[in-house]
């Protein structure tokens, strides 16, 4: 069953969300844009050489250009308890309460003996606002690749995906959801299990609010970086073309598919994957947000025809 593109998800524009009053402690667009200036997250490197055939009235010749690989902040993924209260305050108007998503919160008081009670998180995936700020930063290292994310574009709003997000229909009976150990963030064997990816909804069991929110963010990213999912969303994917190799599906715990930069409750200058051993700050409001960075490889076009490329030893794609 193909993914669905609701008209209201497509039609939401920046004009509907700007000009709202913002509290002093709220995550802002300016904060997020500035966070994209991260040498650790971008991880820029030259990995090979591309070859182009350039032809003119004087004849044809082969030109070279560096093949580069780096990460791009494609989206901001928010994971939060109270419906309509995305921690990115300027974008709250994108996901207000509605007839199928009126409330939020969870059923756990955060007591160890109550870890059988469910927590709930809404999730929004919205195009990273870095745009020109990140492009200028990336170009300081050399030629920069474009990402799939479009600035402030909503790719997933869980309030519009209530059947799947709040009732786990139909993923509750998917093999991934019924098989212990399949598609999990962390593992029982290593004593660092944070939660399962499936079913990809807003409910899960756990007493650590940060870890639960991180798993929900991973679920949302899992959905939008794949096509044909049974959810209401828009794919966060770019098309490959000569000299351009875009990021593919995000896979939990695999930095080669994507990394996370915490934006709130603590702003981080580095990227990581889940699970990790860092000290995790708990949000008193149960709201969290991360920037999702994904790897892209490209080379500057130097001719009309792409002839191929070679990678440096050990560089990979």
What confidence tens digit (pLDDT) does each residue in 84-134 have? 999 999 999 999 999 998 877 665 444 444 445 789 999 999 999 999 999
Q: What percentage of the chain has pLDDT greater than the value 90?
A: 79
Mean pLDDT, the chain, rounded, equals 90
pLDDT for the residue 25 = 63
| Contact yes or no for 67/309 (Cβ under 8 A) | yes
| Contact yes or no for 232/271 (Cβ under 8 A) | no
pLDDT band at 135 (very low <50, low <70, confident <90, very high): very high
The lowest-confidence range among 112-116, 160-164, 168-172, 239-243 is 112-116
Residues 213-241 have a mean pLDDT of 98
| Contact yes or no for 73/147 (Cβ under 8 A) | yes
pLDDT for the residue 22 = 46
pLDDT tens-digit series, residues 13-65 = 443 444 444 444 689 999 999 999 999 999 999 999 999 999 999 999 999 99
Is it the case that residue 304 has pLDDT exceeding 70?
yes
pLDDT for the residue 109 = 43
Domain boundaries, the chain: 7-19+27-311
CB-side exposure of 269: number of CA atoms within 13 Å?
Answer: 3
pLDDT for the residue 19 = 45
Distance CA 132, CA 34 (A): 11
The lowest-confidence range among 1-10, 122-131, 228-237 is 1-10
Distances (CA, A) of 317 to 4, 240, 256, 259, 314: 32, 13, 10, 17, 9
Q: What percentage of the chain has pLDDT greater than the value 70?
A: 87
Burial 210-231 (b: 16+ CB within 10 A, else e): bbbbbbbbbbbbbbbbbeebbb
């Amino acid at each position: 069953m193909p993914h669905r593109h609701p008209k209201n998800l497509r039609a939401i524009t920046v004009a509907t969300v700007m000009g709202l009053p913002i509290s002093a402690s709220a995550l802002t667009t300016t904060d997020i844009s500035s966070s994209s200036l991260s040498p650790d997250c971008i991880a820029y490197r030259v990995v090979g050489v591309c070859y182009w055939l350039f032809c003119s009235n004087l004849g044809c010749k082969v030109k070279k250009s560096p093949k580069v690989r780096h990460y791009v902040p494609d989206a901001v993924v928010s994971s939060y308890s109270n419906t309509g209260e995305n921690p990115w305050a300027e974008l709250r108007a994108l996901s207000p309460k509605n007839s199928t998503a009126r409330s939020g919160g969870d059923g756990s008081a955060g007591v160890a003996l109550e870890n059988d009670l469910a927590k709930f998180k809404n999730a929004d995936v919205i195009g990273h606002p870095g745009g020109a700020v990140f492009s200028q930063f990336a170009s300081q290292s050399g030629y920069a690749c474009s990402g799939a994310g479009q600035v402030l574009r909503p790719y997933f709003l869980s309030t519009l995906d209530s059947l799947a997000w709040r009732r786990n229909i139909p993923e509750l009976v998917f093999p991934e959801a019924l098989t212990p150990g399949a598609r999990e963030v962390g593992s029982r064997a290593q004593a660092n299990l944070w939660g399962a990816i499936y079913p990809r909804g807003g409910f899960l069991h756990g007493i650590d609010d940060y870890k639960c929110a991180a798993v929900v963010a991973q679920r949302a990213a899992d959905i939008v970086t794949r096509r044909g999912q049974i959810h209401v969303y828009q794919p966060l994917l770019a098309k490959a073309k000569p000299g351009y190799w875009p990021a593919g599906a995000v896979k939990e715990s695999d930095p080669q598919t994507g990394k996370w930069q915490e934006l709130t409750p603590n702003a981080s200058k580095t990227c990581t994957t889940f699970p990790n051993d860092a000290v995790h700050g708990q949000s008193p409001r149960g709201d969290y947000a991360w920037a999702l960075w994904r790897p892209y490889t490209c080379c500057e076009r130097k001719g009309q025809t792409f002839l191929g490329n070679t990678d440096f030893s050990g560089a990979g794609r």
